[in-house]
């Protein structure tokens, strides 16, 4: 009986992953400092990346409207903010083309200028007095 050739299985299909392990290996080996990478490590790395992506996509499906068929950058940022564990890792990232959410650091927001009327000095003095009152109440 002639031997029947089996079709070669990829590392991804053997590990039960959707993302390609071979592509992760080649991209990581392009970096010259990390040229020696084991296959087990790459399967694990690909599995972690796939898990994070699946969690974000699950969150986007719950965030988006039923009428919209595309996932927008706003959906991704909302799903990252709603998931506590992913927010710990990706909470500091800024996603382009998404609306700013409440977690944006105050240093990145524009400062509001106080309006100065004709009596600009009086406005500044009133603000200083209000600040002193707040400080006094917080000390007690």
pLDDT in tens, 97-113: 877 666 556 666 666 66
Looking at per-residue pLDDT, the higher value among 54 and 91 belongs to: 54
| Segments in 1-140 forming alpha helices (H) | 11-15, 21-30, 39-63, 73-82, 84-90, 120-139
User: What distance in Å separates the CA atoms of residue 65 and residue 71, rounded to the nearest whole number?
Assistant: 10
The pLDDT assigned to 115 comes to: 59
**Token pair belonging to 106:** 């105050």
Does the model's pTM come out above 0.85?
no
Q: Is residue 118 assigned to a domain?
A: no
For residue 84, the model assigns a pLDDT of 84
Provide the residue range defining the domain that includes 35: 11-101
Task: Return the higher-pLDDT residue of 82 and 49.
Answer: 49
- How far apart are alpha carbons 76 and 57 in whole angstroms? 8
For residue 96, pLDDT beyond 70: yes
Give the CATH number for residue 31.
1.10.20.10
Nearest to 77, CA basis, from 52, 60, 89, 55: 60
Residue 87 included in any domain: yes
Q: pLDDT per residue over 23-41, tens digit each?
A: 888 887 777 666 677 778 8
Q: For residue 45, give both structure tokens.
A: 């790395």
Collapsing DSSP to helix, strand or coil, 113 comes out as coil
């Amino acid at each position: 009986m002639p031997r029947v050739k089996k079709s070669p299985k990829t590392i991804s299909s053997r590990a039960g992953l959707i993302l390609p392990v071979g592509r992760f290996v080649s991209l990581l080996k392009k970096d010259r400092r990390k040229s020696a990478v084991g296959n087990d490590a790459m399967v694990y790395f690909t599995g972690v990346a796939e898990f994070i992506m699946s969690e974000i996509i699950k969150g986007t499906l719950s965030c988006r409207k039923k009428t919209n068929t595309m996932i927008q950058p706003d959906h991704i940022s909302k799903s990252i903010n709603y998931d506590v564990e992913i927010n710990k890792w990706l909470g500091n990232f800024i996603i382009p083309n998404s609306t700013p959410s409440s977690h944006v650091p105050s240093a990145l927001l524009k400062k509001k200028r106080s309006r100065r009327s004709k009596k600009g000095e009086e406005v500044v003095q009133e603000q200083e007095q209000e600040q002193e009152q707040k400080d006094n109440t917080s000390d007690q």
